[in-house]
């Protein structure tokens, strides 16, 4: 499972692009993109969508990778992380069902 940063680095390298080229085209600071690729900083949802558009990638997959990263980095060191994920999944399903 690739992180958001892994995905954008792989896409950039596959296209033989330098960080500065992507940064200029997307109007995002080169150092910031480098931090995204390394996982040192998390992009906003809008930035994720911008990367999906720029690299012509599936938005849903990119947002899913981004959300997954956010969850993993938040709870990875917690003793009951897996249990919490199971409960959260049930709550999301419940809320979606009862939100309609």
Taking only the tens place, the pLDDT of each residue in 34-67 is 999 999 999 999 999 999 999 999 999 999 999 9
* Contact indicator for 29, 40 with CB cutoff of 8 Å: no
Q: Nearest Cα to 8, choosing from 75, 41, 71?
A: 41
Tens digits of residue pLDDT in 82-95? 999 999 999 999 99
pTM: 0.85
Per-residue confidence at 100, pLDDT binned at 50, 70, 90? low
Query: Percentage of the chain surpassing pLDDT 90?
Result: 93
- What pLDDT is attached to residue 54? 97
- Please report the domains of the chain, with CATH numbers, ordered by start residue: 4-99 (1.10.260.40)
pLDDT for the residue 91: 94
Give Cα separations from 52 to 14, 22, 26, 27 (angstroms): 15, 12, 11, 14
């Amino acid at each position: 499972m690739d992180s958001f940063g892994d995905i954008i680095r792989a896409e950039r390298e596959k296209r033989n692009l330098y960080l500065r080229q992507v940064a200029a085209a997307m109007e995002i600071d080169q150092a910031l993109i480098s931090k995204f690729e390394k996982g040192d900083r998390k992009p906003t949802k809008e930035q994720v969508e911008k990367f999906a558009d720029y690299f012509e990638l599936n938005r849903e997959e990119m947002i899913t990778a981004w959300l997954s990263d956010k969850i993993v980095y938040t709870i990875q060191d917690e003793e009951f992380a897996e249990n919490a994920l199971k409960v959260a999944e049930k709550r999301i399903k419940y809320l979606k069902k009862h939100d309609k």
